[in-house]
Chain A
Amino acid sequence: MAIHLHPVPFDPAVELARFEASLPRGSVGATASFVGTMRNHNEGDAVAAMTLEHYPGMTEKQLEAIIQEAREQWDIIDALIVHRTGDILPGNPIVLTAVCSAHRAAAFDACRFLMEALKSRATFWKKETLSSGDTRWVTKNT
């Protein structure tokens, strides 16, 4: 299990390669991954930047619990969650989830579960800066 919170930009390809390299060689038959990226628009407005606040301690605990639930539900080898914090620009990756398993079904399903559970339970909050200069908290996840 690996959880990384990054206050600076990260490269999903590098994170994924590092994760795969940490697993026993030959054990993995399938890797599913998802990358969420910051859009330059939201709810009809142009967005110039975003700040991601989180609850240190609770965020990590919730993400660990989510991975543990995935382990109990699917036959997976390991899982990874990487999430940005701090100031983010359009085009920057926000989140990476990845699951390795022996067969593809568990990897696909568990990876989807990690993302959906993270979006509803992990203690992150987005504050957008619009191109107009106005700021607003994002009030609901899409």
Chain B
Amino acid sequence: MAIKVKFFASLREQQPEGLSQVEAEGVKTVSDVWERATATTLVPAQVLCAVNLEHREPHEAVSDGDEVAFFPPVTGG
């Protein structure tokens, strides 16, 4: 089973090899998804996270079938 992963804006450009999904087995938190998808440890402090379209922190839980997104601070308006 899998967790869907999305990157936006500058993070999408910085992670051209970033995975669009990761295996759910052994993945418990948003931070675990980041490590699997980017092959780097620790979500950088300036990176924001979302799970199923809601803002979440790196330590928060994820489940099989979730959509997890990583992006820089928003700049709309």
Contacts and interface: CB of A to CB of B under 8 A. Distances in A.
Helix, strand, loop or mixed for chain A's interface? mixed
**B interface, size bucket:** 10 to 19
Given A55-B8, A58-B69, A137-B9, A124 B50 contact: no
A121 B74 contact: yes
B5 to A, nearest CB: 13
Given A55-B8, A127-B9, A83 B73 contact: no
A38 B77 CA distance: 10
Interface centre among B55, B69, B76 (most CB of A within 10 A): B76
B53 A57 contact: yes
A23 interface: no
Contacts, number: 72
Contacts of A126: 75-76
Nearest to B46: A139
**A interface, size bucket:** 20 to 34
Contact of B76 (A119, A127, A137, A139): A119
A83 B50 CA distance: 21
A95 B69 contact: no
Contacts of A22: none
B60 to A, nearest CB: 16
Interface string B34-77: 00000000000000001001110000000000000101111111
12 contacts: A53-B9, A54-B76, A55-B6, A55-B50, A55-B53, A57-B53, A58-B54, A58-B69, A94-B77, A123-B76, A137-B10, A137-B75
Interface of A: 36, 52-55, 57-58, 61-62, 83, 94-95, 115, 118-127, 137-141
Given A119-B77, A125-B10, A141-B75, 6 more contacts: A52-B76, A119-B76, A120-B74, A122-B74, A124-B76, A127-B9
Q: Can you list the 7 inter-chain pairs with the closest CB atoms, starting with the nearest? A: A124-B76, A125-B9, A119-B77, A58-B53, A138-B75, A137-B10, A126-B75
